[in-house]
């Protein structure tokens, strides 16, 4: 049986647009339903099929700036002209209850989390190759070539941050990528620091 932890693990997942991160996250959460997925706040408009409070909390720029001023956010970043941020209170409550919390955030936010919470585990997801990323982005027939090129440029910038991550997962097959993340989380749980209470008093 899984040991109840004194404090949950903060898990940060980043990866370029088009890598299939949401699919990997869905697969991961279906296997590990005990993980709490942090729903971020954003000023971008909802996409078709997205619901408020499920994919994001959709807010105005003014509301977001109030949250910044009140120090409500663990981290936030401006990404392609919109704000994205993580509520500090919501995730703190879960971590204190011993629940693992998953953040799907971009590289600037991930760096801020690492500074504020050095115990967080940072995982970066890449496609098998850059050519494959380009293929996947072109496969979403809805986007203009200009938008796709912008995403590929952004991805190149994001790749520069990979050395700051603890783990690198290649999303070739979704089930395998999710299995690798589960293996990482199992290893993190087994860290001596998380288990010392099991051998106390001997």
If the CB atoms of residues 3 and 22 are measured against ligand 5GP, the closer one turns out to be 22
Structure tokens at 10: 């903060």
Task: Pick the piece of the chain touching ligand 5GP (CB under 6 A) from 28-36, 81-89, 164-172, 175-183.
Answer: 81-89
- Select 76 or 124, whichever has its Cβ closest to ligand 5GP: 76
Q: Is 162 exposed, middle or buried (0-12, 13-18, 19+ CB in 10 A)?
A: middle
Binding ligand 5GP (rule: CB under 6 A), the pick from 106, 111, 126, 178 is 106
Identify the residue among 36, 84, 124, 165 touching ligand 5GP (CB under 6 A): 84
Binding to ligand 5GP, residues 60-79 (CB under 6 A): 75-77, 79
104 touching ligand 5GP, by CB under 6 A: yes
In the complex with ligand 5GP, the residue whose CB is nearer, 8 or 85, is: 85
> Judged by CB under 6 A, how many residues of this single chain contact ligand 5GP?
14
Instruction: Please report the beta strands in the chain, taking only residues with DSSP state E, as ranges in sequence order.
Output: 10-14, 36-37, 40-42, 56-58, 73-79, 82-87, 101-104, 121-126, 167-170
Q: Pairing between strand 10-14 and 56-58?
A: unpaired
Q: Of 14, 40, 39, 34, which is closest to residue 182 (Cα–Cα)?
A: 34
Nearer residue to ligand 5GP within complex by CB, 86 or 171: 86
Residue 18 binds to ligand 5GP (criterion: CB under 6 A): no
Of 61-69, 101-109, 164-172, 194-202, the window that binds ligand 5GP (rule: CB under 6 A) is 101-109
Rounded Cα distance, 87 and 30, in Å: 23
Which uninterrupted H or E stretch holds 177? helix 174-189
Which one of residues 5, 32, 44, 136 is an interface residue with ligand 5GP (CB under 6 A)?
A: 44
Structure tokens at 15: 């990866």
Q: Which of 28, 85, 101, 169 binds ligand 5GP (CB under 6 A)?
A: 85
Collect all residues with Cβ–Cβ distance below 8 Å to 189 and sequence separation of at least 6.
2, 3, 5, 9
User: Residue numbers of the site for ligand 5GP (CB under 6 A)?
Assistant: 40, 44, 75-77, 79, 84-86, 104-106, 108-109
């Amino acid at each position: 049986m899984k040991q109840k932890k004194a404090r949950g693990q903060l898990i940060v997942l980043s990866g370029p647009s088009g890598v299939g991160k949401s699919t990997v996250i869905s697969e991961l959460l279906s296997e590990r339903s005990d993980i709490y997925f942090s729903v971020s706040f954003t000023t971008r408009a909802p996409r078709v099929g997205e619901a408020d409070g499920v994919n994001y909390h959709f807010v105005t720029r003014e509301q977001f700036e109030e949250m910044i001023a009140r120090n409500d956010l663990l981290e936030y970043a401006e990404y392609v002209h919109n704000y994205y941020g993580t509520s500090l209170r919501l995730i703190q409550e879960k971590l204190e209850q011993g629940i693992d919390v998953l953040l799907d955030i971009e590289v600037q936010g991930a760096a801020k989390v690492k500074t504020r919470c050095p115990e967080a585990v940072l995982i970066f997801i890449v496609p098998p190759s850059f050519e494959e990323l380009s293929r996947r982005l072109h496969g979403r027939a809805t986007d203009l070539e200009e938008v796709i090129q912008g995403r590929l440029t952004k991805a190149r910038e994001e790749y520069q941050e990979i050395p700051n991550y603890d783990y690198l997962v290649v999303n070739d097959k979704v089930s395998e990528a999710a299995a690798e993340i589960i293996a990482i989380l199992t290893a993190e749980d087994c860290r001596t620091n998380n288990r010392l209470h099991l051998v106390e008093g001997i």
